[in-house]
């Protein structure tokens, strides 16, 4: 079963949902129950889900801003291209201490490091593109949720 990423606009959790469910049903965030939106991405398999959700929690707890998420997604992308996984994970651990146990578990295994970084990039990209808190993209499902913009 292929899974695609969805983003909760309320608590900023990025989750993986089965493609069939993403197409046919309303999605609710398992963490806070708010509406979640599908954000196109590469698909993942069921075996990725646990680590993906753990990473999503870690990123959400670090309270990265939208622009930080966008910048960080780019940095991770560069690290993936240049195979500098160890250094990039060290950088991210400083910002998101919740990553430490995962970094330790991956050790110097480049494949394990890469799997973490690819998921982090997917999560950070979704957050970086999130309409939440933006006056430019007031995309919300429920009209009552639209905040009156200041000025």
Give residues in contact with Zn ion (CB under 5 A): 8, 10-11, 13, 29, 31-32, 34
We find the least distance from the C-beta atom of residue 8 to Zn ion, in angstroms, to be 3
Q: Of 11 and 80, which has the nearer Cβ to Zn ion?
A: 11
Question: Which residue lies nearer to Zn ion by CB, 34 or 93?
Answer: 34
Identify which of residues 79 and 130 has a Cβ nearer to Zn ion in the complex. 130
Task: Give the nearer residue to Zn ion in terms of CB position, either 70 or 132.
Answer: 132
Supply the minimum distance, in Å, between the C-beta of residue 130 and Zn ion: 12
Closest separation between CB of residue 29 and Zn ion, Å?
3
State the SS3 of the chain: CEEEEEEECCCCCEEEEEHHHHHHCCCECCCCCCEEEECCCCCEEHHHHHHHHHHHHHHHHCCCCHHHHHHHHHHHHHHHHHCCHHHHHHHHHHHCHHHHHHHHHHCCCHHHHHHHHHHHHHHHHHHHCCCCCCCCCCCCCCHHHCCCCCC
């Amino acid at each position: 079963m292929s899974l695609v990423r969805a983003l909760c606009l309320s608590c900023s959790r990025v989750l993986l949902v089965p493609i069939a469910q993403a197409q046919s049903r309303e999605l609710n965030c398992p963490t806070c129950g708010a509406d979640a939106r599908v954000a196109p991405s590469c698909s993942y398999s069921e075996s990725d889900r646990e680590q993906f959700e753990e990473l999503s929690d870690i990123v959400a707890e670090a309270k990265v801003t939208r622009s930080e998420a966008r910048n960080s997604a780019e940095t991770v992308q560069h690290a993936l291209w240049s195979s500098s996984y160890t250094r990039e994970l060290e950088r991210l651990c400083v910002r998101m201490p919740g990553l430490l146990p995962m970094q330790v578990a991956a050790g110097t295994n480049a494949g394990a490091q890469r799997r973490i970084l690819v998921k982090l990039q997917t999560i950070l990209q979704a957050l970086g593109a999130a309409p939440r808190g933006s006056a430019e993209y007031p995309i919300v499902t429920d009209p009552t949720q639209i905040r009156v913009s200041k000025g």
